[in-house]
Structure 1
Amino acid sequence: MAEPQLSGTQRAAIILLTLGEQQAADVLKHMSAKEVQKLGIAMTSVSAVTRDQVVDVVDDFVETLNQPSGLGPGADEYVRAVLVQALGEDRASGLIDRILLGRNTSGLDSLKWMEPRAIAELVRNEHPQIIAIVLAHLDADQGAEVLKCLPERVRSDVLVRIATLDGVPPHALNELNDVMAKQFAGSQNIKSSTLGGVKVAANILNFMDGGQDEAILGSIGQMDDTLSNQIRDLMFVFDNLGEIDDRAMQSILREVPNDKLAVALRGADTKVKDKIIGNMSQRAAEILKDDMEARGPVRLADVEGAQKEILQIVRKMADEGTIQLIAKAETFV
């Protein structure tokens, strides 16, 4: 029987486990909170790998190290090309700016290690524009969790400000980062920022609970209908699953529990149902259909909740590079 293929995160975890405690700790110091969490989980879950798999991973790592590094006069272009190829233009742009333009937002970065509710308490009494800058700096899922903890009356205002952010003046970001840096150890030396935008707002809404995203979009629509439509067009929603390729769908189905599918598909578009059932074995498809029929009527809130849970699994797989998603305007890569 062929050994299961290891993900990039699992391979990285194996490398860290072979380094020793001090060396692994030194590597983790240079990673973000989300990366540390992801690698930590992977390091606890790779105990079942075989010796041959470990040898293959280490051999590949050594081979990579022996390849040309890209150092020299063209190093900036090399780093930019590699990051764009790995992450996509949009997701790589902020990271490229920090690396190549010398940005250091240590005060704001410290928030990524905090619980969303604690961040919400920290910014609750700040001006909505400040809250928008903070949320735009966080990862989309963490930003969504913070938004959930804020009063409903400010959510739409904050998201509109995120969507309409078009760069933050250096002095303003310096001031904000300085305030955060004083509360958490760190220094700051910020040149400029390209935080925010419609895609950032859409990605944050993607992680909101069922019903909350539509409520916020509705409020935004009352203020600016065009902006509301722009955000909606960039969101990856459950119906977009009907547009992904079969290979990605098969990978998703291996991770999603059948009971969640049976509930989520009750409110799904026909195209999504056909895509999912078409990528299942005949036996599995029959079981799913029987399960859906046996359940009887299902509350709309339960359907939306199941769809959100499946989308969270899908987005996690996309973030890990296991699958590629294409939304209406390539929100994900």
Structure 2
Amino acid sequence: MSELRKAAVLLMSLPEEDAAALLGKLTPKQVEVVSIEIAKLGRLSGTEQESVIQDFAGVNPAALGVAGGGLEVASHLVEKALGAEASKTLENVRQSIQSLPFGFLKKIDPQNLMTYIMDEHPQTIALILSHLPSTYGAEIIKGLPAERQLQVIRRIANMGQTNPEVISEVERGLESRMANVMNQSFEKAGGVNSVAEILNVTDRATERTLLESLAQEDPELVDEIRRLMFVFDDIGKLTDKDIQTVLKNVETSQWAMALKGASPELKQKVLGNLSTRAAQTLNEEIDYLGAKKLSEVEAVQQQIVDIVRKLEDAGQITVHAAEENEQLVQ
């Protein structure tokens, strides 16, 4: 990774005010160069951010996972950093980005692009992906059939210099075919999150029947849905009796790690269901752990969520949202 890209990734990982303040200490030309790189970034992965941020001391791991760069983000930072003197730099940034091959695809969702290039020759797909950010290209590759994935990757690896006229021809053809998509705004609907939300408020029998049937076709999808139906923070909604059942099935070391990233209310809810001595021991273990990566904390939180779901399936606890407001019969 180039030093320029590292600088762009670091700036995108900082709060906006801090990033703008740093840019404000650079010369207009330096701001322009870095801003162009930010505009080229596209989507960032937490792994790439972490790799860059580990070069710098004292960074909060909770800052990982921003959506990424883009022309709009870069422009906003330049305006904040240079104020009234931003116009010339902004224009240079826009011209640089717009002149990049396939630059118009940065505002197109990968799934929409997939529809248009799925049946293209592997060499054409390889040419397009070689001019896009790696995270964007990875999403496209993931959606291709296995045989086509290999063909495209092989061609990208062996691709040398390409005639600019060929690039321009492919770009014009694709841009023309996608003109309608580029001029439309899309609203994201459906997806696994929607399924989880629907099942969260259905009766338990319907939920179980649907998930069992779906599991026969796609067990991995069912796992994804179930993880979204009950998240770690929802433990705070459990009754004291159910929390005590969960406590018996989760190791103290797991609670210590998981509660590092929990709200004060949830932490108190858990500690309140322990004996004074056990609560003191858990608090000490939490303090002893020190700073931990957010990804590590979330992984342990998910382990506890999985245990909660297993306890629910066994009928030992009740977590179903639809039952929260169910009328009690005396």
| Global fold match (TM > 0.5) | no
- The alignment's TM-score, normalised by the length of structure 1, stands at 0.33
